[in-house]
Amino acid sequence: MIIVTGGAGFIGSNLIHALNRQGEDDILLVDNLTNGHKMQNIADLNIADYMDKNDFIERLQNPNFLTHIRAVFHQGACSATTEWNGQYIMANNYEYSKRLLEWCQIKHIPFVYASSASIYGMGKEGFHIDRVCEKPINMYAYSKFQFDQYVRRILPRSTSQIVGLRYFNVYGSREQHKDSMSSTTFHFNNQLKTGDEVKLFASCDGFADGEQRRDFVYINDVVAVNLWFLENSHKSGIFNVGTGQAQTFNAMAQAVIDWHKHGKISYIPFPEHLKGAYQSFTEADISTLRAAGYEQKFMNVQQGVSDYLDRLNHGA
């Protein structure tokens, strides 16, 4: 059996979908379905069982709970960068992850978990897997950073695979439930379905209108990295997951416009509440991932957006 926490979420549901395509359906999906709309992400998936995230973590205390686990993909977390209840965030993202990792170590189960590029904060020191680059600027990022720090202490004495994947700006299918946290691709698409303009932030941090740059990585590539580590269980460590090439929001908007074959870009004033708390530039250093042996190419924005919008607008 394979366990996927956050299995009804964006990355988790895509991961299960890919496992299904490989013929794997002995899967335990763990999540919190308080937001029942997330069921749209999993209605077409084949799983062996579902369990609420709180029931799951409590039942880990039972030594007879679950056997013959091939791997755990820990994708579940409170991912809201605007959540400032530190006690809540640390309980859900840090303590929960620690308990699950400790269980995996006792049972010798490979553990692949979602970290985040938000750990790099404003990115002034770069985006390398190095402590000097890491300066989180919100509670979500701090919870991910602190768990990575915990993993770093565990790795030298680990009994089985531990892999942390620092996702950059992921976009793609099954993200609609995230509302305001959905990707710019998703929002631009909706704007062109109801109008003729896509709205981008005006200049900030020394970048011209819409020229802020992010490492936009397509969900299919993110899933491929996860599955590669499943097949290479002797590889452990913390890795960036991005294309390694930043592209502008203008380029993302233009790719959406090109797909729709209509539309124009307009710019709105940069929000005051985001000043000093916004990543105007991200670019993954994927040298560690390449050194581990991962050789597949990543889609650029033009390729990823085309595939995504085909699926999103045509129901593929």
Per-residue model confidence (pLDDT) at position 205:
85
pLDDT value, residue 112: 98
- The counts of H helices and E strands in the chain are 11, 13
| pLDDT, position 294 | 98
CATH topology of 2-171+216-244+281-298 equal to that of 176-213+246-279+306-314?
no
CB neighbour class for 69 (10 Å; exposed up to 12, middle 13-18, buried from 19) = middle
pLDDT score at 77 = 87
Q: Assess if CATH 3.90.25.10 describes domain 176-213+246-279+306-314.
A: yes
- Structural domain spans, the chain: 2-171+216-244+281-298, 176-213+246-279+306-314
Residue 315's pLDDT is 64
pTM, 2 dp: 0.94
- The per-residue pLDDT for 156 is 96
2-171+216-244+281-298: CATH, from 3.30.413.10, 3.60.20.10, 3.40.50.300, 3.40.50.720? 3.40.50.720
Average pLDDT by consecutive 10-residue portion of the chain (316 residues)?
A: 97 98 97 92 97 95 90 90 85 95 96 97 94 94 97 96 98 89 92 95 92 97 98 97 97 97 95 82 97 98 97 79
CA distance 263 to 14: 30
Active site residues: 140, 178
Q: Specify the length of the chain in residues.
A: 316
